[in-house]
Structure 1
Amino acid sequence: MQTFFGLIAFIALCQNGIEARGAVCEGRTAHLPCERGFIKLISASYGRSDRTTCSSGRPSNQLSNTQCHQYRSRRIMSDRCDGMSSCTVPVTNSVFSDPCRGTYKYLDVSFTCLPASRSVTCENSRNVISCARGSLSIHHANYGRRDRLTCPHRLATTSHCYHSQTSNLRSRCNGRNSCQLHASNAIFSDPCRGVYKYLEVTYSCNNHITSSGEITAAEQDT
């Protein structure tokens, strides 16, 4: 395991299968990159559990509460980062909410990089994910929008609009050789009306041989 503390940007280039861990101080930005593969969050905690991490220049009254935790931190980081090749998250109360006013906090986060494939299907399009050998194993799936560059469109007006579809896609696709995908509000419900969305799925094959490359829907339904 690689460990990094007190970084302005979390710049551990995580190799496949190796856990990277770091603490990023409140007001800074956490950057989780995978040189190869896609992010799988292991743990995340926003708050304070000791008096030494992110303590430089801070008065003692901002460090004394060591029982300060935001219990939704892992879910927030997982929603923003799982299945991405890199992820940037501001370490602020506006993102995580404030678990202890007056305490100077930090984000303690760990993740690994999965040697997986990623499928992106633009809204109202169809796609197929498959394994040349073995069967599908879904790691992560979202329907909505987590950036403005994927599936570009004049209605790509936000980067924080999505529903997790991991359980849904696991029940549909796990254990199969191939799985048809249809990025549709009728199937996944609409997390943000008026925004052009996409279905993103990170997956591998259960014999550890992944299908090649990133798959993007080629045509749009009419």
Structure 2
Amino acid sequence: AFILHYTFTLLHYYTFIFISGFIRAQVPPPVTPISTGRVVTSNGLSVHRLSYEGQVIVVSWANYGRRDKTTCSHGRPVSQLQNVHCTWSGSMNYVTTRCNGTNMCEINTNMVCTCDPSVCTYLDITFTCVPAIHSVTCQESQANLQCGEGQVIVVSWVNYGRRDNTTCSHGRPVSQIQNVHCSSPSSAEYNNCTVGASNTVFGDPCGGTYKYLEVVYDCQDPE
């Protein structure tokens, strides 16, 4: 079974406003409340699906393992609930690669490594749903983020790399689109209105792979 708990929160980001061809730092406006969710899925269920039409998913935390003795404990022997320090270090990368920036993703818990076969494990995900625009820019092109006059750009998630073998794949050799676990840890440092999707800007997280820049953002009215 899974536990689905929704709360509401306010997210604050550094925002930028485009005026007369220049980028000017702007105090973040109050962001419209967006849903924040937590999903816990027992490893007895093979697939968990997140789906939110008209919004995009931004995962803030994920863990596959066990951190307490009560979650997903029904019907389990005590011996399977004792190890509360069970964590798979690849949990966050596994979930964010599949879910961030999309409005639907499926996580196959049978594909996730478990830290101890004798422990009843579960997948614990904390995420937010953002009413946002998902921009994709192929490598060596310019990402132009645009909002209406008088609005500011609020960036919620950025990645430079490759997460599938179909995006920005036209005319590319197979060898350049096979690595689908490629991301740049420095991506989130860039919030400008116009950003070059290049190794010069973000570094090269995976040599030999043709990459693309993904940006999830929303247009807000300044206060």
Q: Same fold (TM over 0.5)?
A: yes
User: CA separation in 2, counterparts of 1:158 and 1:79?
Assistant: 12
> What is the CA deviation profile of residues 152-186 of structure 1, one whole-angstrom value per residue up to 9, with x for unaligned ones?
2433112211113443213xx2xxxxx21221112
Which residue pairs with 2:136 in the alignment? 120
Count of residue pairs brought into register by the alignment: 189
Of the structure 1 ranges 35-44 and 67-76, higher mean CA displacement relative to structure 2 is found in 67-76
**What is the DSSP-based 3-state SS (H/G/I as helix, E as strand, rest coil) of the residue aligned with 1:32?**
strand
CA contact 1:24–1:106 (8 Å) conserved in 2: yes
Q: Which runs of 4+ in 1 moved over 6 A?
A: none
CA change 1:166–1:97 in 2 (3 A) is farther
CA contact 1:140–1:165 (8 Å) conserved in 2: no
CA contact 1:24–1:108 (8 Å) conserved in 2: yes
Which residue pairs with 1:160 in the alignment? 181
Question: How far apart are residue 86 of structure 1 and its match?
Answer: 2.2
CA contact 1:36–1:113 (8 Å) conserved in 2: no
* Cα RMSD (Å): 3.1
Mark the runs of 5 or more structure 2 residues left unpaired by the alignment: 7-32
Which residue pairs with 1:145 in the alignment? 162
**What is the DSSP-based 3-state SS (H/G/I as helix, E as strand, rest coil) of the residue aligned with 1:130?**
coil
Q: Work out the percentage of aligned pairs sharing the same amino acid.
A: 37
Is 1:190–2:204 an aligned residue pair? yes
Which residue pairs with 2:2 in the alignment? 5
Question: How far apart are residue 24 of structure 1 and its match?
Answer: 1.8
> What is the CA deviation profile of residues 93-118 of structure 1, one whole-angstrom value per residue up to 9, with x for unaligned ones?
x75662x5631211111322100111
Is 1:17–2:14 an aligned residue pair? no
Question: How far apart are residue 141 of structure 1 and its match?
Answer: 0.7
Which residue pairs with 1:36 in the alignment? 54
User: CA separation in 1, counterparts of 2:100 and 2:90?
Assistant: 15
TM-score of the aligned structures, taking structure 1 as reference length: 0.70
Which residue pairs with 2:221 in the alignment? 207
1:181 to 162, 186, 195: 195
CA change 1:82–1:126 in 2 (3 A) is same
CA contact 2:160–2:187 (8 Å) conserved in 1: no
